[in-house]
Each structure stands twice: as structure tokens, then as C-alpha cells.
Amino acid sequence: MKITKFTAAAIIILFFQGCTKDVDFNQFDDAKIHSTYITTLIYLNLTASDFLDDFNREIAVTTDLVQAPISNDSEPYLEKVEFTVITENTFSRNFKLSITFYDVFNAPIYVLQPIINVPENSSKLTTIIEIPKQDIPSIYDTKYFGFTILLSPSTNGSTISINDISTFNLKSSAKLFFNYRKI
């Protein structure tokens, strides 16, 4: 009988002490998960012929387009984009590179700032370009990225020749900063 009473008491204690310590599920609203992803982007290996037309005349403005099928699933979480651009120029000419975002109507909606200046005969130069939070929606409205290279006039009147072995190289990557506030 003693064992019975003891066991019954133990069972009652076990069940009735069953409780919870304080938890606060509202903390979930404060949860932030900051994740950063890096992705490779475009690169260029341009030579003299890329800046000359069929008659070997200099082309002052060279443009190329890349389609951008960007899903807007990540838009609520993307906080910042940071581009890293590394340039190397052995031409005796200055270049400027501008990157413009175009919407579905081919209208320019955003230009990355600053425009990248590539001085003549420059070794590796790294430029960091940031798209701040307030400009992020532009990315998701973009249909094409336009890359424009402006060949600055020479200061001494010289021109690029087809036999010029100089190169203009560019490497790039992007860092995407996400904050998963609403998991």
C-alpha cells in the first residue's frame, strides 16, 4: 500500500509540475538573419579592334546589353548591393564605364554611381559601387543592364591603331546583403 501511495504521489507530482518556463514568441518579430552572398558578374578582355569600326576609325561610345531576368521573390529581403569592379588598362587613353538599368520599355531607370573612370596606362584599380536600400526597387524593375564604354579623346591627338597590342580588362563581382526579417 505504501508503494501504491508513493507511486500515485509521484505520478501526480510529475503531471502537475508539468509546466512551461517563460517563453516569448513575439521575439520572432525581432529576429534578423543577415546573409551575404557573392556572385561573379561580367568581365571584359578588350583589345584595339573592339574600339575601331570597319574602317579602323575610333568608336567613341561602345555599348552592350545583358538581359536581366530577375525574380522579385527576394525583394523584401535585399538590403544592399555592393559591386566590386577591378580594371586594368594598358591603352594610352582614358576610359569611362557607365552601367545603366533599363526597364521593360527600354527606358533608363537607374545609373550606377559613380561612373567608373579608368585612367590611361593604369594598373589594377578597384572601384566599389553600392546600390543603397532606397534604390533597391530599381533592380527589380530592370529588364536589361546596359554597359557603355566611353573612349575619352586623347590629349595629344593620337588614335588607337589596329596594331596596338594594348588591352582593357575588367573583372567584377557583386555582394548581395540580405536581411531575412520575415522568415
User: Which residues are near other proteins by CB under 8 A?
Assistant: 3-4, 7, 11, 14-15, 17-33, 35-46, 50, 62-69, 84, 86, 147, 149, 171-173, 175, 178
Residue 28 or 55: which CB sits closer to other proteins? 28
DSSP character string of 52-77 = B-TTS-B-SEEEEEEE----GGGTTT
Rounded CA separation 137/130 (Å): 14
- Amino acid 117 reads N
Residue with cell 555582394: 175
Task: Tell me how far, at minimum, the Cβ of 6 lies from other proteins, in Å.
Answer: 11
Q: Residue 97: how many CB atoms within 10 A of its CB?
A: 21
Least distance from other proteins to the Cβ atom of residue 126, Å: 10
Task: Give 9 or 155: the residue with its C-beta nearer to other proteins.
Answer: 9
Maximal CA-CA distance, the chain:
113
Comparison of 44 and 136: residue with beta carbon closer to other proteins: 44
Provide, rounded to whole angstroms, the least separation between the CB of residue 58 and other proteins.
Answer: 13
- Output the smallest distance, CB 121 to other proteins, in A: 21
Distance between CA atoms of 19 and 34, rounded to whole angstroms?
34
The total number of residues written for the chain in this structure: 183
* Shortest separation between residue 154's beta carbon and other proteins, angstroms: 20
Nearest CB to other proteins, comparing residues 25 and 105: 25
Dihedral of alpha carbons 176, 180, 182, 183, sign:
positive
Nearer to other proteins, 104 or 155 (CB): 104
